[in-house]
Amino acid sequence: MTLDTLLIPTDGSDPAENAARRGFDLASSLDANVHVLSVADSSVATGAGYSGDSPSIRNRLRERAEVRAASLRDDAIERGLDATAAVRDGIPADEIVDYADERTIDAIVVGTSGRGGVARAIVGSVADKVVRTASVPVVTITSSAADRAERATGIDSILLPTDGSEAATEALERGRSLAAQLEATVHLLSVVDDDLANALGDASGDDVGSETDRRASAQSHLEGIAADVRSRGLEAVTATTKGRPSEEIVEYADENGVDVIAMGTHGRGGFERLLVGSVTDRVIRTASVPVFTVRPNAANAEDSGTRAETEPTQLAFVCVQNAGRSQMAYAFARRELEARNLADDVDLVTGGTDPADRIHPVVVESMRAVGIDVSDRSPREVTVDERRRSDYVVTMGCSDADACPAGWPGESRDWEIADPDGRSPEEVAEIRDEIERRVNDLLDELSRDA
């Protein structure tokens, strides 16, 4: 599969615009057409502070979106690209994914950080949702990746990390196709994570072998892939390292001057998860080069987790004090699961790494304003056992490294949301609404994956 048409969304923020220009670099290298999309975010016109829908606000949002899309399209045309501008009304992530499907787009290019609160459009949580729901590959670009002016604009090398899982295998195939289209050198990397391997062995009772055996097996696997890459007329380099996969992948890319990292977004479930999933999340957030992510075909994906079919999914919301953000997320998730008749399918947990004495009063009042009473709840410490049993851990204000036990096979999400403590009621309302949106998006995703 070749990439002949790229979709580049923008909300007009500097991170989105800078990411778009790196997208133009990719389009130039691929000789691809570009669709520039700007979404007039309907949630702004109906959000906090407004009494119902506001046509005048919708009109202003659309006018601004039209200006943004036209301006960026003109930039692309000046660079010699065949570019089209488009504007949609609605929820940004949904409109981006739908547009890609409707127009047979080959890949989407998005920035990974930008505006917060109700003004968020393309970057941040929207980019996260696009990565997890798009049916085509997504290229994510951090601010550091967009700002690296010293790096050449061409793409001469691609890093393909692999653990042998289905998602990694599909990413390998897409990555090899991309390398062939760009005539780029392929770097194949396998990371031996001893802590995880030992934890999996303890949990399953299987003999995971020595570190030497694991490294030899990983290198043998890489050499087989390299032979296939070389048979296609491409250069291939193999490497096996030891450590935390996400850190090793980013470090290898920096040290070896890699131009793009290609990874799968979901791997095997249960105790078989090794490289993909939450590792990809961390790479997307920290890489100083674009990350090309591939989501496996849901029709072909296998659920190889060890849980029984009737056992519910466990979802944990964790922050430092468990007095604000995680309590709000827990309350919204509980209400939404009941509304969807899914309360028996998902077990919810909330707690903190250093719990406070009580929930922040401003949070209690803010939640009461949307019909939820949390006054009877108290902050608590989330136990290691609770985190280890969880399929998903969402952290807010504390790192996933602190919240997730070593060797834990689940998936972590790090929500960058401001602490409501000490903020005005209006600011807390904005934080509350952002959390509610993220909770609903997460439950939508889990429902689709199920």
Q: How far apart are CA 207 and CA 416, in angstroms?
A: 39
Helix (H) or strand (E) holding 325: helix 325-339
Q: How far apart are CA 72 and CA 76, in angstroms?
A: 6
- Residue with token string 């105790």: 271
CA 81 to chain centre: 28
Is 12:36 a contact under the CB 8 Å cutoff?
Answer: no
> What is the distance between the terminal CA atoms of the chain, rounded to a whole angstrom?
28
pLDDT means per 10 residues, the chain with 450 residues, are: 92 86 93 95 55 70 93 96 94 90 94 46 64 88 73 81 76 91 95 60 50 80 92 94 90 95 63 47 87 69 38 86 95 88 82 93 95 91 81 83 62 90 95 94 73
- Residue with token string 């399209």: 73
- pLDDT for residue 298: 37
Q: How far apart are CA 211 and CA 356, in angstroms?
A: 42
- pLDDT for residue 91: 82
DSSP conformation letters of 205-230 = ------HHHHHHHHHHHHHHHHHHHH
Beta partners for residue 261, in sequence order: 159, 291
- pLDDT for residue 13: 83
- pLDDT for residue 185: 97
Residues in the chain: 450
- pLDDT for residue 405: 56
- Residue with token string 């136990």: 383
Is 238:223 a contact under the CB 8 Å cutoff?
Answer: yes
Is 46:52 a contact under the CB 8 Å cutoff?
Answer: yes
- pLDDT for residue 304: 37
Q: State the helix-helix crossing angle for 325-339 and 425-449, rounded to 10 degrees.
A: 50
Q: How far apart are CA 284 and CA 246, in angstroms?
A: 9
Is 124:113 a contact under the CB 8 Å cutoff?
Answer: yes
- pLDDT for residue 210: 66
Beta partners for residue 33, in sequence order: 5
Helix (H) or strand (E) holding 264: strand 260-264
CB neighbour class for 49 (10 Å; exposed up to 12, middle 13-18, buried from 19):
exposed
Return the closest-CA partner of residue 171 out of 220, 225, 216, 251. 225
Return the closest-CA partner of residue 226 out of 182, 185, 167, 183. 185
- Which residue ranges form the domains of the chain, and what is each CATH number? 5-147 (3.40.50.620), 157-294 (3.40.50.620), 313-449 (3.40.50.2300)
- Residue with token string 């005539």: 183
pTM: 0.65
- pLDDT for residue 267: 35
